[in-house]
Chain A
Amino acid sequence: MYDPTVARLTYRALLGRRRALILGALPLLLIAISVVVRGLAGADDQTASDLLGGLALATMVPIIGVIAGTGAIGPEIDDGSVVYLLSKPLKRPTIIFTKLIVAIAVTMVFSALPTLIAGFILNGNGQQIAVAYTIAALVSSIAYAAVFLLLGTVSRHAVVFGLVYALVWEALFGSLVPGARTLSVQQWSLAVADKVAGGDLISSDVGLTTATVLLVAVTVLATWYAGQKLRALTLAGEE
């Protein structure tokens, strides 16, 4: 199911040349902000929770997820070089699975790890906040990577749709219409984090069971469907 060569190529496509630097700029910014906040405000649990929840989990994880998830396959389909990969004797689901693993790994390294570091800088993991948000970031990395990888195989405008989901649906509608929160990767991962941390600083609008079921279902279905899409891929010309 996992092909090391495809994985190596995908890593190179995602992190090659200066792209790793640009991806690395976001986590560095988060850590820099946490240092500033710690200096300004001292260790405060509420502040730490606000910063990690508002900046790290709500903005950074989705954006890195979009870059890694769609970047793992989108550009290849876009410039047509995916045919060279598809003509190799590899199962299409294997290609998708490998790219998914790479996308998840990249998202986790560039979003969950800095969340953990930022959490420790902000309040030294008081009330398990750092660990809880790191787990939320890890869990949502998996779901985001799977969903955005699927988007990358479905549409040429995957990045825009991914960002519309992450910013408009989760952030804007999620804050206005409570019902929209049930269908939000962010809330599902918060439910898991809530269970782990146990404190009252982290709360989610979704129950743990629902969240877990939905997370697993979305990840598996998205991966499966992406494999199906790749099996019957038609290369569209330039619009």
Chain B
Amino acid sequence: MAVEHPVTTPSGDQTRIHNIGYRSYDGPRLGRAYARRSLYSQSLRGAYGLGRSVKSKVLPMLLFVVMCVPAAIMVAVAVATKAKELPLDYTRYAIVMQAVISLYVASQAPQSVSRDLRFKTVPLYFSRPIETADYVRAKFAALASALFILTAAPLLVLYVGALLAKLDFADQTEGFAQGLVSVALLSLLFAGLGLVIAAVTPRRGFGIAAVIAVLTISYGAVSTLQAIADAQGSTGAIPWIGLFSPVTLIDGVQSAFLGASSAAPGGIGPSNGEGAVYVLVCLGLIAACYGLLMRRYKKVGL
């Protein structure tokens, strides 16, 4: 039975019912940049399964090993046969191993963003002092760095091996530098595409399949069309067709400006003018991915 107390309005300090001794935080506040750095390093570690369960370490580590082993074998062969050159160019390596790279993007991009969307934890990030741009930049940078580690490590193996085999230093260093530039571009492009696709769907499985579908089917379609154009003798069309898939885009950029030989049918790479278009499309795509991610997270962040 609730007894009707007369409502008395207490005055002054007596408005407080309990004072259980909460104190306000007066330590150092680490701020926005720190939060962004933490998100970046956590995402980067997560992309290789560090700090996660053993099961989720298996796949990224396995792909990393698969990526590096052929390089080690090539070095061993080059040393054993006393070859004058490595069996594969630095710039060509990522193109040959594109299936592994695609699988890595497809498996790690959704795990980086889809789970936040599915468990609706994105608003929790934004309750910290970070903005949409910080989240997008941290995730983008983390996946791009993870991809760069994946693609640059075998090049490093090749380079060190080539120096140990006493191949020409200047020649190898130039090739290695060109290879690094090309894989850096590739990492940014693949990370952007993977994240945009993965950020659309909260279902991890569906995201993986969608990323793979975009990367492999576009490559399959483009290389088929290029092969047909080559067989038809309309070689002028080959570079233009190559603009429509991420792998051939990177291939075109590096064969125009980074001294690589094109992997396109007939070995026909873009000329310098066409190469400029390639670079523009490539940078445009990366910027577009960033823009789309920003737009997406403006919406889901609320």
Q: Which residues of A approach B to under 8 Å, CB–CB?
A: 19, 22, 26, 29, 33, 36-37, 40-41, 47, 50-51, 54-55, 58-60, 63, 66-67, 70-71, 74-75, 78, 157-160, 163-164, 167-168, 171-172, 239
Say whether B217 faces chain A, with CB atoms less than 8 Å apart. Answer: yes
- Contact present for A167 and B212 (CB under 8 Å): yes
Beta-carbon contact of A159 and B216 below 8 Å? no
| B213 interface residue (CB < 8 Å to A) | yes
Given contacts A60-B217, A158-B205, A239-B53, 11 further A-B contacts (CB under 8 A): A36-B225, A37-B224, A40-B232, A63-B213, A63-B217, A70-B205, A71-B206, A75-B205, A167-B99, A167-B103, A239-B56
Majority-rule SS of A interface residues: helix
Query: B204–A78 contact, CB under 8 A?
Result: yes
| B231 interface residue per 8 A CB criterion | yes
Q: Is B52 an interface residue (CB 8 A)?
A: yes
* B33 in the interface (beta carbon within 8 A): no
Task: State which of A40, A41, A59 has its C-beta within 8 Å of the C-beta of B216.
Answer: A59
* Residue B106 interfacial (CB < 8 Å): yes
Per-residue CB contact flags for chain B residues 210-231 toward chain A (1 = under 8 Å, else 0) read 1011001100110011011101
Check if A33 sits within 8 Å of B59, measured CB to CB. Answer: no
Q: Is the interface of B mostly helix, strand, loop or mixed?
A: helix
When A and B form their complex, what is the total count of cross-chain residue pairs whose Cβ atoms lie within 8 Å? 87
Residues of B within 8 Å of A29, CB to CB, are 217, 221
Could you name 19 residue pairs across A and B whose Cβ atoms are closer than 8 Å?
A: A22-B210, A26-B213, A29-B221, A37-B224, A37-B225, A41-B228, A41-B231, A50-B224, A55-B224, A63-B213, A70-B205, A78-B205, A159-B205, A160-B107, A163-B103, A163-B212, A167-B102, A167-B103, A239-B52
Docked pose: A136 CA to B263 CA in angstroms? 30
- Let me know if B203 is at the binding interface, CB within 8 A: yes
Q: Is the CB of B59 within 8 A of A157?
A: yes
In whole angstroms, what is the CA distance A29 to B217 when docked? 9
B228 touches A47 (CB 8 A): yes
Number of chain B residues whose Cβ lies closer than 8 Å to a Cβ of chain A: 32
Docked Cα-Cα span, A120 to B56, in Å, equals 45
Quick one: which of B52-106 are within 8 Å of A by CB? 52-53, 55-56, 59, 99-100, 102-103, 106
Which chain A residues lie closer than 8 Å to B14 at the CB level? none
Q: Which 6 A-B pairs have the closest CB atoms?
A: A159-B205, A159-B208, A239-B53, A67-B209, A59-B220, A160-B107
Task: Annotate B171-207 by CB proximity to A: 1 below 8 A, 0 otherwise.
Answer: 0000000000000000000000000000000011110
Query: Is B9 on the interface with A (CB-CB < 8 A)?
Result: no
Asked if B103 contacts A164 (CB within 8 A), the reply is yes
Establish whether residues A160 and B217, one from each chain, have CB atoms under 8 Å apart when the complex forms. no
Within the complex, the shortest CB–CB distance from B112 to chain A, in Å, comes to 14
- Within the assembled complex, what's the spacing in Å between the Cα atoms of A66 and B59? 18
Q: Output the least CB separation between A19 and chain B (Å).
A: 7
Inter-subunit contact A168/B228 (CB<8 Å): no
Q: Does B56 lie within 8 Å of A33, measured CB to CB?
A: no
With an 8 A cutoff between CB atoms, is B234 at the interface?
yes
Interface pair B232/A163, CB less than 8 Å apart: no
A59–B217 CB distance below 8 A: yes
Pick the contact of A239 from B55, B220, B221 — CB < 8 Å?
Answer: B55
Residue in A closest to B229 when the chains form the complex, CB atoms? A40
Bound together, the chains give a CA A163 to CA B210 distance in angstroms of 11
* Nearest chain A CB to B41 CB, angstrom units: 20
Q: Which residues in B have their C-beta under 8 angstroms from that of A37?
A: 224-225, 228
Closest to B55 in A: A239
User: B206 to A67, Cβ gap below 8 A?
Assistant: yes
Let me know if A168 and B99 touch, CB within 8 A.
yes
A51–B223 CA distance with the chains assembled, in angstroms: 10
Nearest-neighbor residue (CB-CB) of B119 within chain A: A238
Give the residue name and chain of the B residue nearest to A58 (CB): B220
Asked if A172 contacts B205 (CB within 8 A), the reply is no
Tell whether, in the assembled complex, residue B107 and residue A41 are in contact, meaning their CB atoms are under 8 Å apart.
Answer: no
Task: Please indicate the chain A residues that have their CB under 8 angstroms from the CB of B217 in the complex.
Answer: 26, 29, 55, 59-60, 63
Give min CB distance, A192 to chain B, whole Å.
Answer: 23
A66: chain B residues within 8 A (beta carbon): 209
Instruction: Give CA–CA (A164, B100) in the complex, Å.
Output: 9
- A171, closest chain B residue (CB): B99
A101 to B207, CA, bound (A): 24
In the complex the two chains form, what is the Cα distance from A75 to B209 in whole Å?
13
Residues of B within 8 A of A171 (CB): 99
